[in-house]
Amino acid sequence: RAVQRQSEWRSEQLRDDIVRQESDGWTALRQSIARLGASARNLRVAGENLSISTYSYGEGMTTVLDVLQAQLSWIQLYTNDIEARFDRAVAEADYRRITARP
């Protein structure tokens, strides 16, 4: 009788672990998708800022330092975008593994 209860407890624990893993995987996937969207928007704004800074420099309205700062900002946000894409791919692969989907 005790062995049967212990076996049932282990089965319940395993089911709970599986449900928790699926939930965590789904949450990670949703968060990575949201981060990717925010990253794309930020990168677009940084690109516009870089274009404006470059144009303004050509017109003599800003300094080269302003252009360099805009370039640095764009590069940092581009790097963040690459990381967000990677994180999304990993989260999707993990979720597919957890749910046994191809």
Section 15-44 average pLDDT: 95
Give the three-class secondary structure for 86.
helix
pTM greater than the 0.75 cutoff: yes
- The CB density around residue 4, as the number of other CB atoms within 10 Å, is 8
Q: Is the dihedral of CA 26, 27, 29, 30 positive or negative?
A: positive
Q: What is the pLDDT of residue 52?
A: 97
Give the pLDDT of residue 24. 95
Query: How many domains would you assign to the chain?
Result: 1
Instruction: List pLDDT tens digits, range 65-84.
Output: 999 999 999 999 999 999 99
pLDDT at 31 over 80: yes
**Residue 89, domain extent:** 2-99
